């Protein structure tokens, strides 16, 4: 009975017969690009550090993470995680809590005192970085790893840019911000604060810099011509948040109206509530579906007592009363006035209509093009052949901290190529690991872990952090929810299901290979691979 049974399963005696000549296709192991990695503006190897985290190798996970992003504790709080929107697991139950695990690793590194990698061997090249927000700090970090000397200058009295002066402390505690910035500076960075660069070419010549990375943030609040009485209190949201960050908040009164629909508008309204406003009302021209703010920010604000007037615009502000005009969306989704008006009591109006970047320091720069308030750059972030690079809010892109971190890394490598006399090269990307390539039968349902939140009653009177971090147990659970899309994690499925014993185990961390003398090309391994890391290719003739 033993022999027929063994032949039926394709083990034991079946290897006596070579079957390779039967094939028209052969299986090959492949690596595909996980959708989370593909969606990350900072270019993190998310799947790589999740793999280490799920085994409890937290420092190894953190080191993979900071290879691309030196501020995981910050980004684990302020990034709106497009990686999770792209996550294949969302089609199974819910996306992996990538952002929460990133924060866990970042916080653990601060607690344990883990240090960033040592700077690279000194190249003798000097780089000027203007602006100490996420783009400038990221560029500074990567330039130091590449061995270049960096002078980091900023017009403010502390480093951090809009992370410090635009994001309230209830979202980003200042101790966390300072800890991750201090680690970067400790790599041997020359820091110059309270310094305004008026002419980038003159600054470069005076300091004998080989290249420049321009990372000036969008710190000028946009204004709009709203008729207002002499006694009406009107302030832009950027100025308001900046003053609060300096512990010198303006007196806005009890009834505050915020005009705008982005994250800054909600930050301003939530901050006003914490400063004592009994009514904080956001006025927005479109509906909720077309609002720029993240869903999480909106829900938290509503839970804290902030109200929203959808499809409304501010017509005028007379003393203690704001006149609103109702709007409607046309068939293209653009707001149109209705001619209907209503009044709203208000002590102050905060304008959150977007930000502009002051690029006057480029007025005398050679070969640099500024269009619609942004610097035109190549894929290397180079803005001009003379060695001026730019990133973050200064260039045409989505204005988020994570995008800026990615720009800093890309700009640093572009600068490295420039000062070392190399031609820039584009990195080849693997094919995307789409959901249809996975076999999710092997994965059990595992609902996403919810991060704890500060009680809503406590939020309204202080700037304590609202969203808490994961425990180690929860972080492990979240990391283990990763499907390892497109990349083998040595589950042994192919080894176990092969009817011809044609899969050879190469040892821990080495994965497998096929013995094509015995593989019939049946494709069972492809169908049963959970992560889509095997494909069938036509047999060579």
pLDDT at residue 431, as a whole number: 94
> Can you tell me the mean pLDDT for 311-318?
92
> Can you tell me the mean pLDDT for 283-300?
88
- Residue ranges of alpha helices (H) inside 391-438 are 401-419
Nearest to 365 by CA among 348, 347, 351, 386: 386
Tell me whether strands 534-538 and 512-514 are parallel, antiparallel or unpaired: unpaired
What is the per-residue pLDDT across 56-89, written as a single tens digit (0 to 9) for each? 999 999 999 999 999 999 999 999 999 999 999 9
Percent of the chain with pLDDT over 90: 78
User: End-to-end CA distance of the chain, in Å?
Assistant: 40
Residue 345 clears pLDDT 90, i.e. is over it? yes
Split at pLDDT 50, 70, 90, the class of 20 is: low
Q: Global pTM? A: 0.91
pLDDT at residue 447, as a whole number: 87
Determine phi and psi for 345, rounding to 5 degrees: -70, 135
Residues forming a β-bridge with 214: 130, 390
| Contact between 533 and 29 (Cβ < 8 Å) | yes
pLDDT at residue 386, as a whole number: 86
Split at pLDDT 50, 70, 90, the class of 540 is: confident
Q: Which fold has domain 2-31+488-538?
A: Alpha-Beta Plaits (3.30.70)
pLDDT at residue 320, as a whole number: 85
Residue 11 clears pLDDT 60, i.e. is over it? no
Say which range, 216-225, 452-461, 502-511, has the weakest mean pLDDT.
216-225
3-state DSSP call for residue 83? helix
**Alpha-carbon distances, residue 324 vs 165, 262, 327, 358 (angstroms):** 30, 19, 9, 31
Classify domain 126-220+356-419 by CATH architecture. Answer: 3-Layer(bba) Sandwich (3.50)
3-state DSSP call for residue 157? coil
Higher-scoring residue by pLDDT: 472, 223: 472
- Integer Cα distance of 42 and 415 in angstroms: 17
3-state DSSP call for residue 264? helix
Residue 532 clears pLDDT 50, i.e. is over it? yes
pLDDT at residue 59, as a whole number: 98
Sequence-distant (6+) residues with CB within 8 A of 231 are 319
> Can you tell me the mean pLDDT for 524-538?
95
What is the per-residue pLDDT across 372-410, written as a single tens digit (0 to 9) for each? 889 999 999 999 878 999 999 899 888 899 999 999 999
Sequence-distant (6+) residues with CB within 8 A of 203 are 128, 130, 153, 197, 209, 212, 361
Q: How high does pLDDT run on average in the chain?
A: 91
- Integer Cα distance of 158 and 155 in angstroms: 9
Rounded to the nearest 10 degrees, the angle between the axes of helix 472-480 and helix 46-54 is 120
H or E element at residue 201:
helix 200-207
- Integer Cα distance of 458 and 460 in angstroms: 6
> Can you tell me the mean pLDDT for 10-16?
43
pLDDT at residue 486, as a whole number: 95
Q: What is the DSSP string of 96-155?
A: --HHHHHHHHHHHHHHHT--PPPPPPP---EEEEE--SHHHHHHHHHHHHTT-EEEEE-S
> Can you tell me the mean pLDDT for 306-328?
92
Split at pLDDT 50, 70, 90, the class of 3 is: very low
What is the per-residue pLDDT across 434-451, written as a single tens digit (0 to 9) for each? 999 999 888 878 889 999
Residue 17 clears pLDDT 80, i.e. is over it? no
pLDDT at residue 2, as a whole number: 40
Domain spans of the chain, in order of start: 2-31+488-538, 126-220+356-419, 224-354
Sequence-distant (6+) residues with CB within 8 A of 185 are 152, 159, 191
What is the per-residue pLDDT across 232-267, written as a single tens digit (0 to 9) for each? 799 999 999 999 999 999 999 999 999 999 999 999
Residue 15 clears pLDDT 50, i.e. is over it? no
pLDDT at residue 260, as a whole number: 93
Nearest to 384 by CA among 351, 411, 349: 411
Split at pLDDT 50, 70, 90, the class of 331 is: confident
pLDDT at residue 231, as a whole number: 62
Residue 461 clears pLDDT 90, i.e. is over it? no
Split at pLDDT 50, 70, 90, the class of 523 is: very high
pLDDT at residue 1, as a whole number: 35
pLDDT at residue 541, as a whole number: 59
Nearest to 221 by CA among 349, 356, 359: 356
Residue 412 clears pLDDT 90, i.e. is over it? yes
Split at pLDDT 50, 70, 90, the class of 54 is: very high
Split at pLDDT 50, 70, 90, the class of 13 is: very low
> Can you tell me the mean pLDDT for 492-516?
94
Q: Which fold has domain 224-354?
A: FAD/NAD(P)-binding domain (3.50.50)
Residue 9 clears pLDDT 70, i.e. is over it? no
The answer to whether the 2-31+488-538 and 224-354 domains have the same CATH topology is no
- Integer Cα distance of 213 and 415 in angstroms: 8
What is the per-residue pLDDT across 90-110, written as a single tens digit (0 to 9) for each? 999 999 999 999 999 999 999
- Integer Cα distance of 317 and 348 in angstroms: 9
């Amino acid at each position: 009975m033993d022999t027929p049974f063994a032949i039926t399963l394709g083990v034991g005696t079946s290897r006596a017969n070579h079957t390779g000549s039967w094939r028209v296709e052969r299986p090959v192991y492949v690596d595909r690009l996980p959708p989370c990695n593909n969606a990350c503006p900072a270019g993190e190897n998310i799947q790589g550090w999740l793999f280490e985290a799920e085994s409890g190798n937290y420092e190894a996970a953190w080191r993979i993470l900071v290879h691309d992003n030196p501020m995981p504790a910050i980004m684990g709080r302020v990034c709106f995680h497009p990686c999770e929107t792209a996550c294949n697991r969302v089609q199974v139950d819910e996306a992996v809590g990538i952002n929460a695990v990133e924060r866990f690793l970042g916080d653990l590194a601060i607690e344990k005192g883990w240090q960033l990698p040592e700077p690279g061997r000194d190249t003798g090249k000097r780089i000027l970085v203007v602006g100490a927000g996420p783009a400038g700090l990221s560029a500074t970090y990567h330039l130091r790893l590449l061995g270049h000397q960096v002078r980091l200058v900023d017009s403010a009295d502390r480093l951090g840019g809009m992370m410090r002066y635009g994001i309230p402390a209830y979202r980003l505690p200042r101790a966390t911000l300072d800890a991750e910035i201090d680690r970067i500076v400790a790599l041997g960075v020359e820091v110059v604060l309270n310094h305004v660069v008026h002419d980038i070419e003159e600054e470069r010549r005076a300091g004998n810099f080989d290249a420049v990375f321009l990372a000036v943030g969008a710190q000028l609040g946009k204004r709009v011509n709203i008729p207002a009485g002499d006694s009406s209190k009107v302030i832009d949201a950027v100025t308001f948040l900046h003053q609060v960050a300096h512990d010198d908040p303006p007196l806005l009164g009890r009834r505050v109206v915020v005009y705008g629909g982005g994250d800054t508008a909600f930050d301003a309204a939530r901050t006003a509530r914490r400063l004592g406003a009994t009514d904080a009302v956001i006025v927005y021209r479109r509906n909720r579906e077309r609002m720029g703010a993240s869903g999480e920010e909106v829900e938290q604000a509503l839970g804290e007592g902030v109200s929203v007037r959808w499809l409304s615009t501010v017509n005028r502000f007379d003393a203690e009363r704001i006149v609103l005009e109702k709007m409607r969306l046309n068939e293209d989704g653009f707001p149109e006035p209705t001619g209907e008006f209503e009044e709203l009591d208000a002590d102050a109006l905060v304008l959150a209509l977007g930000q502009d970047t002051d690029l006057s320091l480029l007025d005398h720069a050679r070969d640099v093009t500024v269009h619609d308030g942004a610097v035109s750059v190549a894929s290397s972030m180079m803005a001009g052949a003379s060695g001026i690079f730019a990133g973050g809010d200064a260039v045409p892109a989505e204005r988020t901290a994570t995008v800026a971190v990615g720009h800093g890394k890309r700009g640093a490598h572009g600068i490295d190529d420039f000062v070392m006399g190399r031609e820039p090269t584009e990195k080849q990307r693997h094919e995307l690991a789409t959901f249809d390539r996975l076999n999710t039968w092997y994965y059990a349902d595992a609902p996403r872990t919810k991060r704890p939140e500060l009680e809503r009653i406590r939020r309204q009177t202080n700037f304590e952090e609202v969203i808490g971090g994961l425990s180690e147990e929860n972080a492990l659970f979240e990391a283990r929810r990763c499907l390892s899309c497109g990349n083998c994690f040595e589950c042994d499925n192919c080894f176990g299901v092969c009817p011809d014993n044609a899969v050879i185990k190469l040892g821990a961390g080495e994965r497998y290979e096929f013995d094509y003398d015995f593989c019939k090309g049946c494709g069972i391994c492809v169908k049963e691979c959970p992560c889509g890391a095997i494909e069938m290719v036509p047999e060579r003739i």
